[in-house]
Every structure is written in structure tokens, then in C-alpha cells.
Amino acid sequence: MGRLYDRCSGRVYALMVRIVGRQDADDAMQLAFMQIFRKLDCFSGGSSLETWIYRVATNEALQFLRRRKRDNVNTLSLEPESKLSQSGLRLEDAEMLEAGLAKLEPELRAVLTLKEVQELSYAEIAEIMNIPEGTVGSRLNRARRELKDELERLGWS
């Protein structure tokens, strides 16, 4: 369990930050790994272990949001400086991106995160989300369009 956690926790945490927000990512990740360890004996080998872990983690993140009955995610306040974040974005741009992502429906945010952050294929995302590959494409297009619209509304340049 320790090796599995060490191997996957960084990517699962990044997934949680994008789906539930930075403030709740630790809690959601803890719940996800509890589920992963609880259900590990259910892993049948029909997919890669990493894909299965993403499925459990994504489902737990969506359940976390449903339990909290939130329509959007509160993000941490960042100081308005033009310093670069770890990803190379200016901090205000990173904050704006988080705010834009928070406005997306959780399922759209999950699909976008799995594709753009985790760099998974449509087939892997379809398996994780338990939806057809065509639905992955349509949700991804919708998520990108809605994120673009929200970022423009927020003044993204």
C-alpha cells in the first residue's frame, strides 16, 4: 500500500486539486486512497492499475462535491503579484484558471483534467468515467468552450 501510494499520490493529488479545488484536495485525496485500499481486492486487471486508480479517485472526487452540495469550488486567495507559479503561469493567471475551472460542472472538470493535466487518452478517460469515447470528446469540447468563455469573462488575456 505504501509503494502504491508513493507511486500514485502526486498524480491523484493533482487530479483532486483540479476537480475539488486546492482547499479540499487533501481531504478528497485521503478519502480516495481509503476507497482505493478498501477496494483493491476488486481490481480485476481488466485495465491498468493506474486507470483503475483514476476511476476510483475521480468517482470519489465527484462524490465529495456532491456531499458538499457545492456548485463551485472556493480557491485559496493568492497575492496579486506577477511571480511565476510552479507551472510557469503568473500567479494571477493561475488563480484565474482555477476560478474558471471551478465554474465548470464537476463531470466536465474531471474530463478536462484527465485529458489536459493527466494526459490520458480518450479510451482511458472513457473507462475511468464509465462513458463512451464519443461522450469524452463532446464533454471535452464543451469543457474547453465553457472554460474559454469563463476565462474571457474574467479578463484572461
Question: CATH no. for residue 142?
Answer: 1.20.140.160
Please list, in sequence order, all residues whose beta carbon lies within 8 angstroms of the beta carbon of residue 19, skipping any fewer than 6 positions away: 28, 58, 61, 62, 65, 106, 109, 110, 113
17: its cell numbers? 486539486
- The string of pLDDT tens digits covering residues 104-156 is 998 999 999 999 888 899 999 999 999 999 999 999 999 999 999 998 888 87
Task: Give 105's DSSP letter.
Answer: -
User: Hey, is 90 helix, strand or coil?
Assistant: strand
Cα separation of 129 and 143, whole Å? 15
User: What's the average model confidence in pLDDT over 77-98?
Assistant: 56
User: What's the average model confidence in pLDDT over 91-104?
Assistant: 80
Domain that holds residue 142: 2-72+81-154
As for how many domains the chain has, the answer is 1
Task: Give 84's DSSP letter.
Answer: B
Instruction: Enter the pTM of the model.
Output: 0.67
126: left (phi over 0), alpha (psi -120 to 50) or beta: alpha
